[in-house]
A = this chain, B = another copy of it.
Amino acid sequence: MNKNRLEAFSDGVIAIIITIMVLELKIPHGDNLQSLLNIAPKFISYIISFVYIAIYWNNHHHLLHTVKKVSGSILWANVHLLFWLSLIPFVTAWAGENNFSELPVATYTFILFMAAVAYFILSKTIINVHGEDSILSSAIGKDIKGIVSVIAYGISIPLSFFFKSASITIIVLIAILWLIPDRRIEKTINKNP
């Protein structure tokens, strides 16, 4: 199994996910301002998901950059991540359609939670295959951001039913946290040419 094809396939799937979301953004019924404003919740969920998928693409990149050999376990951990990401257009449309009501927001958060868990499993799998003293292992170290995200999403799921706005706020804050590129990996790679 060639690393380049794993990257190309993942990039392809992520590119399709980020793009087909627009097909769920149904055009307004009418051509006046009110009909445009009616789809504002859908548009907001579209923006959040677009940013999230771009973040995953970016981080996935940095992660695979450190891979030297692709084992079956890495391949299936990667497919597992793509599975949860593939459901983002679905929950995006559902949350937007229902004006961010409780269950759709909780489901959206659940998908983000599972994607974060899948990302965590993928990075652990890569470390396992390459050994504890590999570049990636020292680069990631204690993956604070990853752990924080998983916990935050985990809290947000039940929170969605009681303090919906808090849950949405957490989702947006975690996105901002991840927008900052993962300099740890970059730095360690540069130190290990």
Report B-chain residues with C-beta under 8 Å of the C-beta of A63: none
Q: Report whether B22 and A89 are in contact in the complex, using a CB–CB cutoff of 8 Å.
A: yes
CA distance A79 to B7 in the complex (A): 18
- The listed residue (B75, B86, B87, B181) touching A18 by CB distance below 8 A is B86
- The listed residue (B12, B83, B89, B103) touching A23 by CB distance below 8 A is B89
Residue of B whose beta carbon sits closest to that of A21: B86
Report B-chain residues with C-beta under 8 Å of the C-beta of A87: 22
Encode A37-64 as 1/0 by CB contact (under 8 A) with B.
0000000000100100010011001100
Instruction: Indicate whether A15 sits within 8 Å of B18 (C-beta atoms), given known contacts A23-B89, A31-B103.
Output: no
CA distance A15 to B82 in the complex (A): 10
A144: CB under 8 A from chain B?
Answer: no
Top 4 A-B residue pairs of the complex, sorted by shortest distance between their CB atoms: A12-B15, A31-B98, A16-B19, A72-B181
Residues in A lying within 8 Å of B, measured CB to CB: 1-2, 5, 7-9, 11-25, 27-28, 30-33, 36, 47, 50, 54, 57-58, 61-62, 65, 72, 75-76, 79, 82-83, 86-87, 89-90, 93-94, 97-98, 101-104, 107, 179, 181
Listed by A's residue number, 20 A-B pairs whose Cβ atoms lie within 8 Å are: A1-B58, A1-B61, A8-B11, A9-B11, A12-B12, A13-B18, A13-B19, A17-B22, A19-B20, A20-B20, A22-B86, A22-B87, A22-B90, A27-B93, A31-B101, A31-B102, A31-B103, A36-B103, A58-B75, A76-B179
